[in-house]
Amino acid sequence: MRTLGLLLGLLLFLVGIISALITAAKLPIINTNWSDMLLLYSISIFFACIGLLIYYKFQSLQSITDNSSCVLCSNIAEQLQKLISELNKLETEIFTLEAVEITNRINILLNNYVLPCSAARQEITELLGHYQGSEVLISIANGERLLNRICSAASDEKIQEIYIIYPKVLFHFEEAYCKCIHYQTCLLNSQQKC
Amino acid sequence: MFNGKNNKYRELTLITVLLGIIQGVILNIAFVYIALKIGFSVGGSAIAAIIGYVFLRGILREGTIVENNINQTIASGINSTGTGVAFVLPTLFLLSVQNQNLVISLWPLLLAGIGGAILGVVVIIPLRKQLIEIERLRFPTGVAVATIIRSGSVTGFNKAKLLGIGLLISVTWKLLMISQWLEIPGILENEELNFSFGVLPAYLTPAIYLSTLNFAAGLLSGRAGLPFFLGGILAWWIVSPVSVFFAWTPELNGKELVDFIYSQMLRPLGIGVLIGAAFMEVILNFSAVKGAIHSLIAASRSNNKSCKDELSFSVLVTGGVVAIFFFFIAAWSVVGVSIGQAILVAMLGSLWLGLAGLIVAQCTGLTDISPVSGIALISVTMMMFALNGNVAAAMLVTLAIAVAIGQSADMMQDLKTGFMVGSRPLLQQIMQLTTSWLGVIIACIVIYILWHGGPGGQGGFGPNTDLPAPQATVLMSVVEAVQSNTVPVDKFILGGIIGVILGTAPVAGMGVLVGLAMYLPLAITLGYGFGCLTQMAIVKKKGEVFAENKIVPLAAGLIIGEALMDVGHVVFKIFL
């Protein structure tokens, strides 16, 4: 039923938008400002809006009834926890490694833990809410930028910069992890109240 | 283990600033001239990054990756302001020939341009987190420049190889296209492959633009760029044939019919969709932008210097107020503009500029294509309406807006590069804000000198001269359209409403991409879409990590190769 509702909403939206674009393309009648397709255009826009409303209604029903937000939070938190533990391991040996090895190790961390979190950005902002989702994503991105800086510093053979930056990298990923856990707890509480 | 180079990490140094400024000035002069000669300019980021790499790492042997990022930020900032000036200022000179009452004074133009350069940077900074960290827009040129900057490092060898392969393919392909060896009349002409097979009607525009840059931009965007491709299909394979079927078009054939559908129907509708969608995105992302502004304020209040990764909110507000004041003074100094109109224009222009900056930043972030002429059309229309048809004042504000949107897009490209190499955004923002205005002065002086170098002290460029200034001719036709009241306002409004609805759709960036697709010829959209589909197929077969590590450097090479060949070809045409 839910999938059907989502599909119906999407279909109405698409038909409405295509029809609105077609009718909007017609040139105005001579000596007037608007074309004679204005009524049809308005009806198309109305259907597109109704389609969107139906889509979002069924989508919100789905997110209330299943616990996908909590599952997502828990997945992201798990990824971040693994990343933090890997970063802690790397911290103990980073200053003994060659530049190439440092970059390789950081690339592995980026590919295995950071990229999957960033790839789920749409789901994160949809399920956690725009503000909360953005907070998590920004903390992850800050950590990612600093990991990139470590790669650059390693390539330039500037070990002092790695000393300075490494604790900040950990701070940002720990911040993202804490935010995830906090929002997960809030979501669980609100679901229990429901 | 490291071999002892443990000194401080060089990032913002005097030598980098000087190198960036010198490169920016040279690129600005060259590209302003190129814009007057052939009608379009080329981004200078890649060239600046390559020269910076050779100079800082090759000659000085102490430059760092992040230092080169600062160098190319400064150079491209100064260069891109020149592009905005070269788009608008020649129009004003050409209009002054037709209209003897049009008095051109350099000072208001400089003030407006400098105001635009400042405002373009300060309005886009609070959106950095939204566009780069949350939406993670691709900014193809930014990615390409990051790949160049890193390519010479000990760890970037594999990526450098792929970059080199991409560059070689792109250069070879462009050479074949320029030399016209592969040209077959009716099938392959002007770098476009026609696949009508003599069957498909012209109004479907069955052609694909064979640009490696275009294809590579699609390769970098992948699934995120798909709405752009689908928007083009919708415009040209659904709206266009339906319009012809219902006889909504005059009885034209071939190219004339295509031109009519494009200029009278799809393009203005696309501009409306673009603006509506961008407006909606501002509203929908308001909480995130508000959050970003709050974090800027919080960072400004913090005493911890390491927290300050971006320009403080107070600096942004001060910059904004100064720029708006510049607009006001510039507009007020134009003959026939009252103080009330000057205030209105300064406020309205700044608001529009903020939205236009977001539109252009999003478009370049998603596709590397910037709808500058569409923005200029809306700007001229709005300003001439607000100023009772005062052309000089309207063009002055349009100049500021053209400079500002160029700055917004360039700042975001550079910040994307900075994100990928780990630079501090604060330093990039400071340098862009403090140096880019130089480009306005240089470009104005160059254009002023070229104009007065003509017979009798004027007419140094324009139709029937060595410097035809094609962009100025286009903008003049826009001014004439506004003056004769033939601007398709209905299309802007109807498209705007569609844009607002598309902006609320569950696919991020859908409205802006569909609008941009309608604004551009299908040949470009198809080339880009082919790149998107190729990337999606590779990701499906080889995974996201493979695409990130192999496809990104290859695509960067394709982009840089074509950009360099374009510059080389133009220089060849002009001087040889």
Is residue B166 situated within a structural domain?
yes
ipTM confidence: 0.85
Q: Strands, DSSP E only, in A15-68?
A: none
Measured between CA atoms, how close is B476 to chain A, in angstroms?
A: 23
CA distance B518 to B249: 17
A47 and A74 share one domain: no
The domain total for chain A is 2
B419 domain residue, yes or no? yes
**Residue A181 touches chain B, beta carbons under 8 Å:** no
Handedness of CA B444, B450, B452, B458 (dihedral sign): negative
Q: Are A41 and A137 in the same domain?
A: no
A residues 78-137 lying closer than 8 A (beta carbon) to B: 95-100, 102-104, 107, 111, 115, 118-119, 121-122, 125, 130-131, 134-135, 137
Q: Quick one: pLDDT at residue B304? A: 58
Same domain, A95 and A161: yes
Last residue of a domain, one of A65, A86, A103: A65
pLDDT digits (tens, 9 = 90+) for A9-57: 999 999 999 999 999 999 998 888 899 999 999 999 999 999 999 999 8
Tell me: do A142 and A79 sit in the same domain: yes
Same domain (yes/no): A83, A124: yes
Give me the pLDDT at residue B306, please.
52
Q: Is residue B505 part of a domain?
A: yes
Are A105 and A37 in a shared domain? no
Cα(A133)–Cα(B71) distance, integer angstroms: 34
- Beta-ladder partners of B438: none
Domain co-membership, A104 together with A72: yes
Same domain, A35 and A97: no
| Rounded CA separation B205/B223 (Å) | 24
Burial environment of residue B457 by CB neighbours within 10 A (0 to 12, 13 to 18, 19 or more): exposed
A11 touches chain B (CB under 8 A): no
Identify the residue whose tokens are 């069957």. Answer: B199
Range of the domain at B274: 14-575
Residue B153 lies inside a defined structural domain of this protein: yes
Residues A27, B347: Cα–Cα separation, whole Å:
33
Give the per-residue pLDDT at B444: 94
Q: What is the pLDDT of residue A77?
A: 86
Does B64 contact A99 at a Cβ distance shorter than 8 Å? no
User: In total, how many domains does chain B have?
Assistant: 1
Same domain, A27 and A45: yes
Q: How far apart are alpha carbons B68 and A48 in whole angstroms?
A: 49
Is B418 a member of any domain?
yes
- B4 belongs to a structural domain: no
The single-letter code of the amino acid at A126 is E
> Does A173 share its domain with A101?
yes
Per-residue pLDDT of chain B (576 residues; tens, 9 = 90+): 555 555 788 999 999 999 999 999 999 998 888 888 776 666 678 888 888 888 887 787 778 999 999 999 999 999 999 888 998 999 999 988 887 777 778 899 999 999 999 999 999 998 898 889 888 888 988 998 998 888 766 556 677 788 889 999 999 999 999 888 888 888 998 889 999 888 899 999 999 999 998 899 899 888 888 999 999 999 999 999 999 999 999 988 888 999 999 999 999 999 999 889 988 877 877 766 676 677 667 666 666 555 578 888 889 999 999 999 999 999 999 888 899 999 998 999 898 888 888 888 888 888 888 887 788 878 888 888 888 888 888 889 899 999 999 999 999 999 999 999 999 999 999 999 999 999 999 999 999 999 988 887 788 888 888 788 888 887 888 888 888 888 889 999 999 999 999 999 888 778 888 999 998 899 999 999 999 999 999 999 998 778 877 888 899 889 888 888 887 887 777 666
Note down the domain range covering A38.
2-65
Q: What strand order describes the sheet that includes B188-189?
A: B188-189, B192-194, B207-209
Closest to B475 (Cα-Cα) out of B386, B383, B408? B383
Residue B484 in any domain: the answer is yes
Q: Are B119 and B404 in contact (CB under 8 A)?
A: yes
Instruction: Report the C-alpha gap between A121 and A108 in whole angstroms.
Output: 20
Quote the CA–CA distance of B397 and B382 in Å, as a whole number. Answer: 10
Long-range pairs, A52-56, Cβ under 8 A, ≥24: A52/A9, A52/A13, A52/B501, A52/B504, A52/B505, A53/A9, A54/A5, A54/A8, A54/A9, A54/A12, A55/A5, A55/A6, A55/A9, A55/A10, A55/A13, A55/B506, A56/A9, A56/B506
Amino acid at B384: M
Chain B nearest C-alpha distance from A16 (Å): 10
**In this structure, are A179 and A90 located in the same domain?**
yes
User: CA B244 to CA B229: how far, in whole Å?
Assistant: 22
Residue of B392, B197, B362 lying closest to B285 (CA atoms): B362
Among A15, A37, A65, where does a domain finish? A65
B5 falls within a domain: no
Nearest-CA neighbor of B71 among B149, B5, B9, B138? Answer: B149
Mode of pairing for the β-strands spanning B207-209 and B188-189: unpaired
pLDDT, residue B293, reads 72
Substitution target from A152, A157, A160, A175 for chain B, most B beta carbons within 10 A: A152
Q: Which residues of B touch A134 (CB under 8 A)?
A: 129-130, 134, 287-288, 291
- DSSP readout, B327-392? HHHHHHTSTT--HHHHHHHHHHHHHHHHHHHHHHHHHHHHHS---HHHHHHHHHHHHHHHTTT-HH
* Cα–Cα distance measured from residue B220 to residue B533, given in angstroms and rounded to the nearest whole number: 11
What's the DSSP call for residue B184?
B
Residues A154 and A93 in one domain: yes
Mutate to test the interface with A, among B148, B490, B540 (most CBs of A within 10 A): B490
Minimal C-alpha gap between A26 and chain B (Å): 6
